[in-house]
Amino acid sequence: MSNSPPIVILHAAADARHCVEHGLHRHGAIYSTYAGLEVYLAERYGVACTCLSRFLSTEDALGLKERASRVVDSVLDSLDATVSREIARSTGWDMRWFRALYSYIGKYHLLAYMSLAEAVRRLRTRHHGARLHVYNFKFNRYLDTSSDMDRFLSACFPDLPAEIVSPPGNAPARQGRDWHTDRAQPILRRILRRTLVPWHTHFRRPRIVSGRPSVLLIQPLYQMEFLLRELTDFNAVVWRENGFPEKEGGAPTGSASQLTWNTDTLPSADPCCSLFLQDIQEDFAKQFPRSVRQISAVAAQHKNTPFSVAVWGNSPCEGMRAVLTEYLRSIGVPVVGGQHGNVYGDSYEPWHFDSDFNRCDVFLTFGFTECDLKNLYPDRQIRTRVVPVGYLNKVHAVRRRKPVDLVFPLTNSYALVAEGMNRLLPHDLVDRQRSLLSFLGSVPSATVVVKPVCHPCIDTCPTLPIFEKMRNLRVISDITFVEFLRTHAPNAVLLDFPGMPLFEAIRLDAELLVMDDPIHPFSPHALDLLKKRAYYTADLSEMVGFLALFFEGRLEKKRDDSFARHYVRDGNTRRLILDLLRHCVQGAR
């Protein structure tokens, strides 16, 4: 029998509170799948905690990501060759159901399993024979599945002495996914956006006119929301998240349980892959009936008012939006998609083929070109037409903005079992934020604003307990970063990660200080241009040196606009989009 002290594994702040309140932290080591709990437990309770991502390196993360990609692609191709063909025989719809639904989120799902399994293997090596107390967690961020920590440990570590801790009232519910659109918003604003705005748009939109071409607008549209008001040459048919009205009867019926599932392509020795297929089967069984009804409703609408073209503004990479887009393309309706963030033509991220490039016939960009894509992915076939139209959601500042020395928009954090392993590793992000906040808190007589995500909590903002206590730092958390820039004039913007705030701040008359993302490196060309505009580094000590020079007034200004002109173009974006849609409609007639 081992004398090793027990190990406790946490996932969220509620787990941490329960652990401390019940004294589980007193007799063993505390680990977590979320790096923010390192800060939370240390600041609130004086308890040491280590994120499991610290057992993994950037090279490990890249290797796991590549492996997950290969497995998912192989499994989905096999399922589409068998199950999707079986569905086609009964419905007449020649669709790749599994590529549509799981080629993107499926990779995140499997990556979470693989990353956790590898971290636990290394944890066992360090604490040989130790008994684990693991707080329960449902792996349902991406797929609607009942898989939880108990099922994961039973499949991947059947000989591991472990106890599942499930506090009453603390069971993880189905988790929301933002995918760039569901970021925290004030409750009133969310209600207005989801009720009054669609209602107002509905009654302003002209009725369907016979003989006029129809364009299907698939919400959310991101920077193409203006099409709801300005697409006056065509019938604008809007598909919202609740779908089209479904009629009883007349639609093909079927149950996913009656389908034959092929598991021959699964790596037989990898339990993570078996869990992955099991979760896909469960999720697909829940989605399939409504998907069939929705496609029937879309087909009926298309028969009455044929769609000349369809448009989406946010990746249709899951659920009904994924199925809808796949169906439209299968029947020959051209689909136009749009860029809705960064890390596209400037940085290496092959999963964007699964989320965006392979889900449309034309892809509208903020500025990058097809040549940029070919240089980034010389071995990939670019099947979509890439059209630069510019960035529409620019900052429109008020006349009198409040001066600020520096603003620090904090990047939100994800757990190892969520999106955390497909970007800067969770613990690396927390270490960056802690070090940068520590330096900023030591600067006297400076106006420094910390801008976390809207309405932050410890489960999204890992360093919240730190900057809440820093009296010389001003915290603004009730507005977005773009809204902040409309009313404030910072002299410098500090970025702990090259996310969307880089594009939002690129045209400011301000210094940009940017830290790297080793998971999605910039292309050599993009990095050369960016370094002419921003102070860019992977080294924390070098970044602190840049900050010291800035506050001393000795940091040389960088205002080169080459990066912005290429990747965040300014111009008549609305007219370019409208002209392109007219061209697509004419080509479809």
Query: What DSSP letter does each residue of 528-583 carry, written as one string?
Result: HHHHHHEEEES-HHHHHHHHHHHHTT-PPP----HHHHHHS--S-HHHHHHHHHHH
What is the spatial distance between Cα 30 and Cα 48, in angstroms, rounded to a whole number? 7
Alpha carbon 264 to chain centroid distance? 31
DSSP assigned state of 509: S
First and final C-alpha spacing in the chain:
76
Residue 403's region, left for phi above 0, alpha for psi from -120 to 50, else beta, is beta
User: Quick check: 389 and 576 in contact, CB under 8 A?
Assistant: yes
Domain limits, the chain? 7-57+108-165, 189-246+282-393+572-588, 402-567
Give the pairing of strands 488-490 and 214-218: unpaired
DSSP assigned state of 569: -
Give the pLDDT score at 393: 76
Task: Show pLDDT as tens, one digit a residue, over the chain (589 residues).
Answer: 456 789 999 999 999 999 999 999 998 999 999 999 999 999 999 999 999 999 999 999 999 999 999 999 999 999 999 999 999 999 999 999 999 999 999 999 999 999 999 999 999 999 998 999 999 999 999 999 999 999 999 999 999 999 999 987 655 444 444 433 333 445 555 555 555 555 544 444 447 787 889 999 999 999 999 999 999 889 999 999 888 887 665 556 656 667 777 666 566 678 999 999 999 999 999 999 999 999 999 999 999 899 999 999 999 999 999 999 999 999 999 999 999 988 899 999 999 999 999 999 999 999 999 999 999 999 999 999 999 999 987 777 777 899 999 999 999 999 999 888 998 999 999 999 999 999 999 998 899 999 999 999 999 999 999 999 999 999 999 999 999 999 999 999 999 999 999 999 999 999 999 999 999 999 999 999 999 999 999 999 999 999 999 999 999 999 999 999 999 999 899 999 999 999 999 876 6
DSSP assigned state of 207: P
Give the pLDDT score at 185: 44
What are the structure tokens assigned to 230, written together? Answer: 């300005």
In this chain, the answer to whether the domains covering 7-57+108-165 and 402-567 adopt an identical fold is yes
User: SS3 of 8, please?
Assistant: strand
What is the spatial distance between Cα 549 and Cα 362, in angstroms, rounded to a whole number? 45
What is the spatial distance between Cα 112 and Cα 245, in angstroms, rounded to a whole number? 36
User: Quick check: 337 and 364 in contact, CB under 8 A?
Assistant: yes
Give the pLDDT score at 78: 92
What are the structure tokens assigned to 257, written together? Answer: 């349980």
Q: Which of 3.40.50, 3.40.30, 3.30.70, 3.90.79 would CATH assign to domain 189-246+282-393+572-588?
A: 3.40.50
In a 10 Å sphere around its CB, with 0-12 CB exposed, 13-18 middle and 19+ buried, how is residue 280 labelled? buried
What is the spatial distance between Cα 103 and Cα 326, in angstroms, rounded to a whole number? 12
Look up the CATH architecture of domain 7-57+108-165.
Answer: 3-Layer(aba) Sandwich (3.40)
Look up the CATH architecture of domain 402-567.
Answer: 3-Layer(aba) Sandwich (3.40)
Sign for the CA dihedral angle at 311, 314, 315, 321 comes to: negative
Q: What are phi and psi of 32, to 5 degrees?
A: -150, 160
What is the spatial distance between Cα 504 and Cα 458, in angstroms, rounded to a whole number? 25
DSSP assigned state of 525: H
Bond from prior residue into 168 cis (ω within 30 degrees of 0): no
**186: which residues sit within 8 A by CB, 6+ positions away?**
454, 455, 478
User: SS3 of 474, please?
Assistant: strand
Give the pLDDT score at 266: 63
Give the pLDDT score at 27: 85
